[in-house]
Amino acid sequence: MAHDIRVGVVGTGYIAHTMVAAIGHVPGLRVVGICSASADRAGSVAKALGIATAFTGVDALLADPAVDMVYIANATAEHATVAIRALEAGKAVLGEKPFAIDSAEAQQVVAAARRTGVLFMEAVATPLLPAVHNALADVASGRLGAARQLSASFGYPTTPASHPGCYAAVGGGVLLDRAVYLVTLARLALGPVADVRAQITRDGNGVDTEAALLLTHANGATAQLTASLTAMLGNMMTIACERGAVTVAAPLLSAEKIAVETVGPPSRPTGASGMRDRVKARPLVRRLAGIARLRKTGFASFGASPYVPELLHFRDLYRAGAIESPVLPVDVSLDVMRILDAAREDRR
């Protein structure tokens, strides 16, 4: 039986706590250490979470041969630097999204991963959720025809007090914190992007808080994406194809429900339609038809935590000696950062 993969966690904030709890549900992964720049903070969090070792600073964690892989969960502005150092230290890296603050940093991380031949994956959990994975696979199968449009949103109200990292001058903003999920899904579902148009709203400090993106993909398909730090959005995704559509129900980032609607060849009714119209005029008939459509809804559980499928995937990659994920390749993560850069710079 394979030995446990020993995980060192960089960071002691909310996502670090969340991921330590999720790792506890994954056989074969075991958190052995956590680090912070503050010795007191590292010690108190390690004690609270039942972690054996508290490291003061990243260097101490990376120097420990008892650490096999690193989960990066510190400030966004530091993700790329820590990822490169960890890769160079021979530690597999699962780096919290966004894995860099722009495409220039992203290229440096990818170069380090390829140079060292060490496993690296950006921690965007959504594509690994069974419901989302199944939706993407259904579209990719071609049974609904070619995918033509994708629409998705992610947003709920926050404030600088409730979510200070989202409003950080470096590494903050709705593009890096929220649109990154949507762009990743669009890139996976529809392929490379040829054109990016964006409407961005910024607060008084210049931090992007609202984003509406229109992506035109190389195959002619389009993606309409909206993300917000200040408003409650639909938090769902629909991929429209030539012969139907797949919808991942809210909440998208912890989705478990999908619905598939199919249609036949395009046609226009001919001849008498009186009976059909009379039937459609009855509210009860319409209600029963709506209930019938619910039978096309499927449920795919993520288990104890929405992060468990991602962690299981990374565990299996590590055991197989892989250097990147076939579900979320590093080139896709790099493309996503380029798209976010283009959205940030769009002045049309």
pLDDT of residue 274: 66
Residues 237 and 143 in one domain: yes
pLDDT of residue 265: 65
CB count in 10 Å sphere of residue 45: 22
Provide the Cα torsion 219, 176, 106, 192; round to 10°. 0
With respect to residue 330, please indicate whether it lies within any of the assigned structural domains: no
Residues 150 and 274 in one domain: yes
Complete edge-to-edge strand list for the sheet that includes strand 92-96: 53-56, 29-36, 5-10, 69-72, 92-96, 120-123
Show the domain range for 89.
Answer: 5-124+306-323
With respect to residue 331, please indicate whether it lies within any of the assigned structural domains: no
pLDDT of residue 263: 82
* Residue 8 and residue 73 in contact, taking contact as beta carbons nearer than 8 Å: no
With respect to residue 45, please indicate whether it lies within any of the assigned structural domains: yes
Residues 93 and 167 in one domain: no
Residues 246 and 145 in one domain: yes
With respect to residue 328, please indicate whether it lies within any of the assigned structural domains: no
Residues 116 and 131 in one domain: no
The angle, 0 to 180 degrees and rounded to 10, between the axes of the packed helices 180-190 and 330-345 is 120
pLDDT along the chain (348 residues), means of 10: 89 96 98 97 97 97 98 97 98 98 98 98 98 97 96 97 95 97 98 98 96 98 98 98 96 97 69 62 66 66 98 98 98 98 85
Residues 148 and 241 in one domain: yes
Residues 138 and 274 in one domain: yes
Residues 184 and 317 in one domain: no
With respect to residue 48, please indicate whether it lies within any of the assigned structural domains: yes
* Residue 273 and residue 183 in contact, taking contact as beta carbons nearer than 8 Å: no
Residues 316 and 284 in one domain: no
Structure tokens, 195 = 């054109």
Residues 243 and 149 in one domain: yes
With respect to residue 16, please indicate whether it lies within any of the assigned structural domains: yes
Closest CA to 221 of 150, 132, 138, 133: 150
Peptide bond into 98 cis (omega under 30): yes
Residues with catalytic function: 97
CATH number of domain containing 115:
3.40.50.720
pLDDT digits (tens, 9 = 90+) for 184-234: 999 999 999 999 999 999 999 999 999 999 999 999 999 999 999 999 999
pLDDT digits (tens, 9 = 90+) for 66-108: 999 999 999 999 999 999 999 999 999 999 999 999 999 999 9
Residues 147 and 284 in one domain: yes
* Residue 145 and residue 45 in contact, taking contact as beta carbons nearer than 8 Å: no
With respect to residue 329, please indicate whether it lies within any of the assigned structural domains: no
Closest CA to 330 of 37, 118, 152: 118
With respect to residue 216, please indicate whether it lies within any of the assigned structural domains: yes
Structure tokens, 303 = 């288990």
pLDDT of residue 6: 98
> How many domains is the chain built from?
2
CATH number of domain containing 261:
3.30.360.10
* In the block, residue with structure tokens 């579900």: 327
Residues 25 and 107 in one domain: yes
pLDDT of residue 287: 65
pLDDT of residue 295: 43
